[in-house]
Amino acid sequence: MSTRFVPVERPLLGTVRVPGDKSISHRAVLFAAMAEGTSRLTGVLDSADVRSTISAVTALGARVEFSGAGPAGLGLTVNGWGAAGPRTPATAIDCGNSGTTCRLLMGVLAGWPVSVTLDGDASLRRRPMRRIAEPLERMGAHFAATDGRLPVRVSGGGLHGAAYASPVASAQVKTAVLLAGLRAEGETSVTEPALSRDHSELLLPAFGVSVCVSEDRLTSSVAGPVSLTATDVAVPADPSSAAFLAGAAAMVPGSEVVLPGVALNPTRLGFVEVLRRMGADLCVEATGSVGGEAVGSITVHYRSGLVGTTVTAAEVPSLIDEVPLLAVVAVCTHGTTRFEGVGELRVKESDRLAAIAEGLGRLGAVVRSGDDWLEVDGTGRLHGATLDSLGDHRLAMAWAVASLVAAGPVTIEEFEAVSVSYPRFAADLAALTQSTGK
């Protein structure tokens, strides 16, 4: 389905509470399913990806009841499988488009004497799973797959602890290994080359699991076997979703947008630092904490005279999902913005690196790219075009933001991909363009 967006003729004004954090929602549902007892979750993101996790844990024996839905997200009551462990489902588990669902489940199932097949849609079948299977096999699990991709059959149980040095900074790899370590004998640790998202390390203690983190925060470890205990979790708003509205406000003259209740985890706020270096006026104010996560508001006031910057490889783990948005903002700067060490974008829902370069080129931007780098010249000029999201939610939102400052309409194919993380994105964006203030 194609959706047409037109340039805006007025500032973006207003307050929007973006949906619940996708990463935390996945983990809250999964940890609750693993736990002994009943957990109550609020603010859970109602999206296609999180629904995949809910369906998966239900198939594995957890009981999930929906206890309401509202602007902040879903309310769920989850009765976990606890010490009994997950059951073997009658059919393969369909993870849809959700890499987080599949990869974290590989870690969970590795520790139990079950044999389960995990599968997904065409996009997920193209994404690499060997990076997860390899450390888990070192711990004693077995995986059967074709060329390291889905479908994959997991045969678990009988794990021993291990010290794994990951070649990539990946929260999914780290979490999968730690979750397997909960069922392994002895200590399991993961050391990364750079700090990735640490939502698992923050949330597991709420479920009664001690996680040790090194002083430099690059090594996380657990001692097993250990069980999870049910708890209640309130999921804050997603900073990655907030980033697209923040970036839009930074581009459109006269804009003022307030984004309350956002998770302010430092491992997720790299986009804020980059936008500030570009000259954007962003105020981040902490207002409390939820489940070990700092929570607060992000306020953006438009400021003219944005400038290009360099995003280093060390920064990328903290803003990997926001590169499409930042590349769009870069067009509105003076100078050139360079993204280094972004090769990981080639194995997302699409080859995002190639797609960003192609899409911006179709819009009239000046772009150059290599195997793991991207440069965008700040020409300040975009024209209308028809772009394909490739079924990638981050690209769909980025092209919608680009349409705000284009000289003509932008038509986005497969815009419905936004349902993966931000189903009401178009409506929230439209509300800001129609508002007269907060």
Per-residue model confidence as pLDDT tens digits over 153-180: 999 999 999 999 999 999 999 999 999 9
- pLDDT digit string, tens, across residues 177-189: 999 999 999 999 9
d(CA 379, CA 376): 9
- pLDDT digit string, tens, across residues 18-54: 999 999 999 999 999 999 999 999 999 999 999 999 9
- pLDDT digit string, tens, across residues 306-335: 999 999 999 999 999 999 999 999 999 999
Average pLDDT score, the chain: 95
Question: Taking the model in full, what pTM does it have?
Answer: 0.93
Q: How far is CA 375 from CA 23, 109, 341, in A?
A: 28, 41, 12
The per-residue pLDDT for 234 is: 95
Domain ranges of the chain: 2-18+236-434, 22-223
Rg (CA), the chain: 21
Which residues pair with residue 374 across a beta bridge? 339, 369
Read off the pLDDT band of 350 (50, 70, 90): confident
Read off the pLDDT band of 438 (50, 70, 90): very low
CATH superfamily of 22-223: Enolpyruvate transferase domain (3.65.10.10)
Whether residue 321 lies in the annotated active site:
yes
d(CA 322, CA 398): 9
Q: Could you tell me which CATH class the domain 2-18+236-434 is placed in? A: alpha beta
Q: Fill in the amino acid letter for 148.
A: G
- The owner of tokens 């370590």 is 181
Question: Which position has the higher pLDDT, 61 or 349?
Answer: 61
- pLDDT digit string, tens, across residues 90-146: 999 999 999 999 999 999 999 999 999 999 999 899 988 999 999 999 999 999 988
Backbone angles phi, psi at 298, to 5 degrees: -120, 120
Q: Fill in the amino acid letter for 144.
A: A
The per-residue pLDDT for 435 is: 64
Q: How far is CA 141 from CA 76, 136, 177, in A?
A: 31, 6, 11
Peptide bond between residue 128 and the one before it cis (omega within 30 degrees of 0): no
Catalytic residue among 46, 238, 321, 388: 321
Are 2-18+236-434 and 22-223 the same fold in CATH? yes
Share of the chain above pLDDT 90, in %: 91
Model confidence at 291: pLDDT above 80: no
